[in-house]
Amino acid sequence: MRLIKPFRGIRPKKELASKVASHPYDVINRVEAKQIACNNPYSFLHINKPEIDVSDDIDAYDPIVYETGRVNLDEFITSGILAQDEDETFYIYKQKMGSHEQVGFVAIASIESYDKGLIKKHEFTRPDKENDRVQHMDALGAQVGPVFLTYKSSEIISGLIGEVVLDNPEYDFNADDGTRHTFWVVSSNSVRDELHKAFNKLDCLYVADGHHRSAAASRVRKLHADRNNAHSGKESYNFFLAVLFPHDQVKILDYNRIIKDLNGLSRDEFLVKLKEFFEIEEAKSGVQTKPEEPGKFGLYLDYSWYKLIIKPDFIPSTRRRNPAEDLDVSLMQKYILSPILDIHDQRVDKRIDFVGGIRGLSELETSVDNGGWRAAIAIYPTSIESLMKVADANQVMPPKSTWFEPKLKSGLISHLLD
């Protein structure tokens, strides 16, 4: 069974790539997106976050929002901002953030393989977020946000990709956030075929970031198949847009939490309950509190930072059948969220929200001091090895256990559905 295949990407003119490339839809809010795109008619935010182009009093999930995205996509294509490649091929997408560099392989991945578990998941999705991506993808007739996949590093694949990046890139620019983005089209038929063979010999792939997009693609496939009396399984809607990175290049940051209330507890009562499971030390700043190893957490509460160090009796002593239970995000759920704060399902509980580590601990302070949140918890990052162990065991992590950086730019490559 195929894991991936080449495709005819739709992408911007060379001279417009840096103007088209945008943040992913889910890392900035509506107000931020509107500010970024207001003076840039080429920004892909007009397509992947089309609520910026309707009245502010219209809900982001209103059907008119998705229709606006379709109109904007059609306009980008009609005006020549975006054009579809004539031939099916693969692409290479390199990102550099500071000293970190990662080189991704752009393809479309088999939804059949995804549904059968050869493209492995490690998280449940949030129903509202998944429904949003279904509506967006179906209305546009396109996948405009790639899923971030990872695979166990292969010398053969690395060598083939190394050949491609010796050529002149199609795009090469620095984004406003300081990251550098370089993009190649695989022009050699022989290299393309060898890459195709090498990737389809892999045992499996892993969803790293993009569980809502991949789950939505599976649902949209069913919608299209039900509408198509001549469905054969070869149509483009049987695949989803993906960028695949080797596991040893992937960079994972912490994914922290903010808490709306203390479940009726005072500050002192909350700290007393925490002492059952943790040693607690007050710190002078978030920098001193930032967890430097598993089993340690940071807590921001009432303008103060605390170090939480899990007591030895509560550290998992043996490797469990479910490796997800060993993760710090699971320990936080088991010893803080469930027993003390009465938060049992992070996917749907409105009393908890998530803050990516790229925003720093200062964002947690701002959320608590000025944003209406009561407390914040800083977490040690989950490793890519842990992610693969959980997925291999067919288990799931708590939601939002990983924050990947650098983020893939939207707009450099899209996949049209039949």
pLDDT in the model for residue 328? 94
Report the distance separating Cα 341 and Cα 265, nearest Å: 9
Q: Within the chain, which residues score under 70 in pLDDT? A: 1, 317-321
Tens-digit pLDDT profile for residues 98-114: 999 999 999 999 999 99
CA separation (Å) from 327 to 67, 68, 123, 387?
Answer: 41, 41, 13, 10
Write the pLDDT tens digit of every residue in 22-33.
999 998 999 999
pLDDT of residue 318: 53
Tokens of 341: 């704060």
- Where in the chain are the domains? 4-251+406-416, 255-380
The reported pLDDT for the residue numbered 320 is 56
Structure tokens at 57: 């009093």
pLDDT for residue 338: 97
pLDDT tens across 73-96, in order?
Answer: 999 999 999 999 999 999 999 999
Q: CA–CA separation, 133 vs 212, rounded Å?
A: 7
Instruction: Give the start-end residues of each E strand in 33-79.
Output: none
**What is the structure's pLDDT at 319?**
52
Residue in 124, 103, 136 with CA at minimum distance from that of residue 408: 103
Q: Does domain 255-380 have CATH number 3.40.1000?
A: no
Cβ 195 vs Cβ 92: under 8 Å: no
In this prediction, residue 224 carries a pLDDT of: 97
CA distance linking residue 95 with residue 174, whole number of Å: 10
Task: Write down the number of H helices and E strands in the chain.
Answer: 14, 21
pLDDT of residue 282: 92
Calpha distance 286→298 (Å, rounded): 8
State both tokens at 238.
């049987």
pTM, two decimals, is 0.90
pLDDT at 229: 94
Phi/psi at 199 (5° precision): -70, -35
